[in-house]
């Protein structure tokens, strides 16, 4: 992954801390030649997002909001950003993602790692501990410059405890913010 892509991804991730960040995403991406499409979850599918390159070369990120949570929105967005920035080419013009499936596909692993690092850089995440409380989650989020939901969601996944901090991940807040 190119360094300039990570720098742009970090800028994008930091929008999460802005009260109007969700509404700013489309404009941020458009200014970089990337279209954003938000869809309702397609019943009977497990599609979280997609990255594609149109015939005219315009890159597109599509998100389904299958999980209406702040942490999931930003992770999926950055995962798809990794794909449009680094993986789409003449041979690969579309990538569809179910992010619940653990993938051994190198491209998917790269996109996951890219998204994690864009949201919470490794040196900041290294400070995470199993005994964290809400104050520590918020402090780490402030250091990373992201919404606390992102840190809470990563903590849940890393420490495999989805009950703890469940009120912090932003259930039901994405759709309402995007209208």
The CATH number of whichever domain residue 7 belongs to comes to 1.10.10
Q: Residue 24 falls within a domain, yes or no?
A: yes
Count of domains for the chain:
1
pLDDT value of position 51: 94
What is the residue-averaged pLDDT of the chain? 91
- pTM exceeds 0.85: yes
Q: Residue 173 falls within a domain, yes or no?
A: yes
The three state secondary structure string of 25-73 is HHHHHHCCCEEEEECCCCCCCCCCEEEEECCCCCEEEEECCCCCCHHHH
Q: Residue 130 falls within a domain, yes or no?
A: no
pLDDT digits (tens, 9 = 90+) for 163-172: 999 999 999 9
Q: Residue 155 falls within a domain, yes or no?
A: no
Q: Residue 85 falls within a domain, yes or no?
A: yes
Q: Residue 76 falls within a domain, yes or no?
A: yes
Q: Residue 106 falls within a domain, yes or no?
A: yes
Q: Which domain holds residue 55?
A: 3-119+169-178
Q: Residue 101 falls within a domain, yes or no?
A: yes
């Amino acid at each position: 992954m190119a360094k300039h892509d990570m720098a742009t991804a970090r800028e994008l991730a930091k929008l999460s801390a802005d009260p109007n960040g969700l509404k700013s995403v489309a404009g941020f991406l458009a200014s970089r030649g990337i279209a954003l499409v938000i869809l309702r979850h397609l019943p009977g599918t497990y599609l979280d997002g997609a990255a594609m390159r149109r015939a005219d070369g315009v890159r597109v990120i599509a998100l389904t909001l299958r999980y209406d949570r702040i942490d999931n929105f930003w992770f999926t967005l950055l995962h798809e950003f990794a794909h449009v920035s680094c993986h789409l080419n003449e041979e690969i013009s579309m990538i569809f993602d179910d992010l619940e499936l653990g993938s051994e596909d190198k491209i998917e692993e790269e996109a996951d790692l890219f998204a994690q690092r864009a949201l919470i850089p490794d040196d900041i995440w290294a400070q995470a501990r199993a005994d964290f409380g809400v104050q520590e989650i918020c402090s780490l989020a402030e250091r990373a410059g992201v919404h606390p939901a992102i840190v809470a969601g990563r903590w849940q996944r890393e420490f495999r405890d989805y009950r703890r901090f469940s009120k912090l991940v932003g259930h039901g807040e994405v759709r309402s913010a995007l209208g």
